[in-house]
Each structure stands twice: as C-alpha cells, then as structure tokens.
C-alpha cells in the first residue's frame, strides 16, 4: 500500500519529464509560426497552419500506436509480465510500419481529399501541398517513434521520451532556421527539417531501448507477437482510440477550415492563437501522461485503492498547474503575440480573442486528465463514446454560432472541451472504479 506522499512522488517524477518533453513540442510550432509570420506574405503562415492540421489528422489518427501501447504495457508491467512488454513494442512497430507504407502509397489521394474538405485560397493550397509532399516521407519514423514512446511510458520511464522529444525538436528548430533563414527554402525548409529530425529521433530511440531494455525482446516470432487473442485486444482498443482521435482532429480541422472561410487573415490569426492552446495542452498533458503510466500499472496490479488515490491527486496537481498557466496568459498574453508575428494587423486582430486563451487552461483540464486516466485503464470504449457525443455537440454549436464570426468559432471550441470533461466525469464510476476491473 502506497501513502499519498508516495503517490505524489511518483506523479512528480513522471510529470516533470513529461511536461519538459511536451513543452518542447509546441515550441517547434512557435518557431515555425514565427519564421513564417515574418515572411513577406501571410500565405506562408496559413500554409504551415493547414499543413500542420493535415498531419494532425494523419499522426494523431495513428496516436493509438502510443496510447494503446502505453496502457497495455503499463498493465503488463504491473502484472510483472516483462516478455509481454517486448511483444507489445514489436506488435506496435509492425502495425506502424505497415501503416506508414500505406500512407506513402496513397499520399496523393490524401492531399487531394484534404483540399476537398478544406476551403482556402489557391496560394495557400499550393504552398501546403509542397509542405505535405516533403513531410510525408517522415511517416515511418514518426509512427515507430509513437510505439517506442508508448513502451517507455508504460515501463514508467518518462526520461527517455523527454530526451527523445527534446533532441528531435532541437534538431528540427536548428534545421528550420538554417533552411528558412540561410537557404531561403521557406515552406519546403520547414517540412524537410521535420522529416530529417524524425529519423534522427528514431535512431536515438532504438539505441536507448537496446541499451536498457534489450532483455524484454525474448522473441522475434511473428506468430507469437501477432497472436490472435493479443492482437484482437490491441486492435480493439486501437480502433476505439482511432475513432476518438479522428473525431478530435476533425473538430480542430473543422475549426481551421471555418477560420479560412472567414478570411485568410482570420486563418492566420487563429493559427497564432492555437499556438497558445498547444502550449497549454502539451503542458497539462504532462499530468495526463503520468496518469496513463500510473493508472495502467495499478490496474495491472489489481490495486484499486491506489488507482483511486492517483486519480484524486493527479486532478489536484493538474488544476493547480492550470491556474498558474492562466495567470501567465493574463500577464503575458498580449506580449506573446509579438513572438509569433511582426505584422501589426495580425497582432491587433488577435487581441479581442485572447479572452478564450485565458479561459482555456481551467476549462480544458478535466478533459485532458480524464483522457490520460481512461487511456491508462484501457477504457477505450468510454473514451470513444464520450468524444462522439461531444463532437456532435460541437458541430451543432459551430452551425449555430458561425454567424457570430470568430467569437462564435471560439465559443464552439470551448463547448467541445466542456462536453468532453463532463461526459467523462459521468462515465468514470462505471468504467474506472469497479472492484471487478
């Protein structure tokens, strides 16, 4: 039996590396936005925003390779079934490799479909296509990195993902500046930098795994790794997570698409403001990732008292942290706009919408933390159902509020997060806190 002090210590030990790791991810977006926002046309900024949304569809859609792997690995770790931890990694890598091959084969269809759904100017579309056809070749590295991150977190190791993310994003930022500023490559430079950095990250991840966890790889037998009962469970959980993630990415893509309908200027403004949301969400997700690791471990060990204790303490820490982020946005929100662009028209245009950024940390925290808890418990069906209902509410809100312009769009996005948090709170007793697991 762990005391509250021990649980808090585990939360801190897992959360701090996760926050550092996650916080470096939106910093890349900040640099991309700042580089593009200082070029001669707002079309470059819009193109990177649209390109980012398309890859969010793709890579968040395959986020189950990390999420399902984290929860299942953590449960195997809690059961002291270390060989299954190794099989889970290989299972995820096989699926990631096959999926990335399909992405490369069907890349032209993917980008054509994307611009059937996203309405933007011809200039922005052309630049976004250039970005896409370069960055798509990072797909094998990115999807395999998802799998390795998931196993590391399931093994209660948040330091390796932190190291990997920092290295990948530092390399990416350095190459971004070199390609855009020194070589004048603009959108193509941003995409190429991302692709190169992903492969460097994959190589480092493999070296780290083999250095510490080589003993987990007890078999390379494909029949054993892809055993029907194990693969069925992995695919069932992954399918639920895929639907959940597809709905969320679709909601954010719809937000960006509707921003483009308003105007290229509103598309650029909302691309900037979404950087605040990314900074906030990645920071709070440090607690959600810790929840995935700990809740999965306690579920695997059949330890309901510590599962409940961890849930309470994770929420307390996360709400306190969200309050700090809110204060930062209140104090520095307007000044941060100058980090993203030097175009005064965009800065002035963004100011009226900062209120939504200030509200976001407290409004969003419940949805983010419940996500981590449900993922750790592999309660994927509840996550799926919650997001489907929330998405329907969001789409209705966009339809009703779109006549109010950009404030209407931000209201609808806020409603989406509230709906997710409330619905998961209602579902928690049934799916998480049963004594029969």
- Using DSSP's 3-state secondary structure scheme, residue 390 falls into helix
Listed in sequence order, the residues at least 6 apart from 432 whose beta carbon sits closer than 8 Å to its beta carbon are 307, 311, 373, 374, 377, 379
Is residue 263 assigned to a domain?
Answer: yes
pTM of the entire predicted model: 0.83
Task: Please check whether residue 318 is in contact with residue 365, taking contact to mean a CB–CB distance below 8 angstroms.
Answer: yes
Residue 437 located in a structural domain: no
Q: What is the CA radius of gyration of the chain?
A: 21
Residue 73: inside a domain: yes
Task: Please enumerate in sequence order all residues whose Cβ is within 8 A of that of 373, keeping only pairs 6 or more positions apart, or say none.
Answer: 288, 291, 292, 295, 311, 314, 428, 432
Task: Confirm whether 127 is domain-assigned.
Answer: yes
436 found inside a domain: no
What is the tally of structural domains in the chain?
1
For residue 52, being part of any structural domain is answered with yes
How far from the centroid of its chain's Cα atoms is residue 394's Cα?
19
Structural domain for 231, as ranges: 4-431
Phi-psi category of 247—alpha, beta or left, where left has phi over 0 and alpha has psi -120 to 50? Answer: alpha
Give a yes or no: residue 106 inside a domain.
Answer: yes
pLDDT tens across the length of the chain (437 residues): 556 778 888 888 888 888 887 666 655 566 666 666 666 566 777 777 777 778 777 877 788 888 999 999 999 999 988 888 889 999 999 899 999 999 999 989 888 888 887 777 777 778 888 888 888 899 999 999 999 999 999 999 999 999 998 899 889 888 988 887 788 777 888 889 888 999 999 999 999 999 999 988 877 777 777 778 888 888 999 999 989 988 988 898 889 888 888 888 888 888 888 888 888 888 898 899 999 999 999 999 888 889 999 999 999 999 999 999 999 999 988 888 887 777 888 888 888 999 999 999 999 999 999 999 999 999 999 999 999 999 999 999 999 999 999 999 999 999 999 999 999 999 998 888 865 54
């Amino acid at each position: 039996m762990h005391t509250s002090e021990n649980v808090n210590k585990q939360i801190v030990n897992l959360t701090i590396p996760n926050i550092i790791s996650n916080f470096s991810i939106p910093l890349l977006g900040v640099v991309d936005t700042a580089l593009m926002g200082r070029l001669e046309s707002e079309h470059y900024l819009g193109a990177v925003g649209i390109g980012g949304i398309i890859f969010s569809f793709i890579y968040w859609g395959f986020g189950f390779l990390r999420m399902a792997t984290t929860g299942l690995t953590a449960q195997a770790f809690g059961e002291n079934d270390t060989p299954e931890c190794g099989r889970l990694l290989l299972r995820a890598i096989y699926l990631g490799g096959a999926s990335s091959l399909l992405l490369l084969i069907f890349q032209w269809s993917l980008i054509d479909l994307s611009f059937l759904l996203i309405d933007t100017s011809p200039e922005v579309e052309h630049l976004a296509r250039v970005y896409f056809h370069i960055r798509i070749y990072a797909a094998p590295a990115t999807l395999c990195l998802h799998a390795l991150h998931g196993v590391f977190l399931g093994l209660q190791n948040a330091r390796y993902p932190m190291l990997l993310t920092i290295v990948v994003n530092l390399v990416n930022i350095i190459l971004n500046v070199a390609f855009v500023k020194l070589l004048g490559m603009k959108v193509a430079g941003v995409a190429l930098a991302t692709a190169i950095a992903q492969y460097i990250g994959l190589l480092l991840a493999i070296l780290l795994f083999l250095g510490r966890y080589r003993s987990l790889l007890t078999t390379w037998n494909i029949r054993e790794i892809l055993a029907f009962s194990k693969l069925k469970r992995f695919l069932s959980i992954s399918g639920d997570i895929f639907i959940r993630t597809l709905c969320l990415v679709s909601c954010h893509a719809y937000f960006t698409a509707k921003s483009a309908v308003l105007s290229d200027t509103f598309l650029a403004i909302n691309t900037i403001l979404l950087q605040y949301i990314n900074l906030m969400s990645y920071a709070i997700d440090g607690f959600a990732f810790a929840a995935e690791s700990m809740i999965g471990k306690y579920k695997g060990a059949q330890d309901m008292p510590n599962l409940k204790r961890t849930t309470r303490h994770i929420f307390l820490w996360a709400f306190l942290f969200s309050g700090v982020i809110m204060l930062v946005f209140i104090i520095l929100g307007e000044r941060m706009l100058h980090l993203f662009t030097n175009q005064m028209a965009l800065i002035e245009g963004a100011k009226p919408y900062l209120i939504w950024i200030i509200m976001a940390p407290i409004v969003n925290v419940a949805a983010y933390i419940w996500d981590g808890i449900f993922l750790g418990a592999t309660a994927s069906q509840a996550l799926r159902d919650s997001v489907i209902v929330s998405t329907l509410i969001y789409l209705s809100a966009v339809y009703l509020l779109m006549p109010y312009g950009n404030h209407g769009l931000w209201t609808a996005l806020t409603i989406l997060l509230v709906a997710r948090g409330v619905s998961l709170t209602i579902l928690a007793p049934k799916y998480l806190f049963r004594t029969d697991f």
